[in-house]
Amino acid sequence: MSLEDKIRASAKDTEGKLQAAAGELTGDQTMKAEGEAKQLQAKVMGAAGDLKDKVQGAAGAIGDAIQGLGGKAD
């Protein structure tokens, strides 16, 4: 996950925590739920970034293995 992606996910999580807390303090259940949804979105963003990193790592390993075979995919 790129640094930019990590910053976006962290900002979304912080925004969600603040919104959920404000909703809790004011008794606004809609605001609280929206804040909790933003926190969940941040977790999904992080998981997607981690998956992207793993796929890129696997693709690199496959490329290295093919090169180790002399560049032949057959």
**pLDDT tens, position by position, 32-56:** 999 999 999 999 999 998 898 889 8
Q: Quick one: 19 exposed, middle or buried, by C-beta within 10 A (0-12, 13-18, 19+)?
A: buried
How does residue 69 score in pLDDT terms, banded at 50, 70 and 90?
Answer: confident
How does residue 64 score in pLDDT terms, banded at 50, 70 and 90?
Answer: confident
Query: What φ, ψ does residue 28 adopt, rounded to 5°?
Result: -90, 100
**Model pTM score:** 0.71
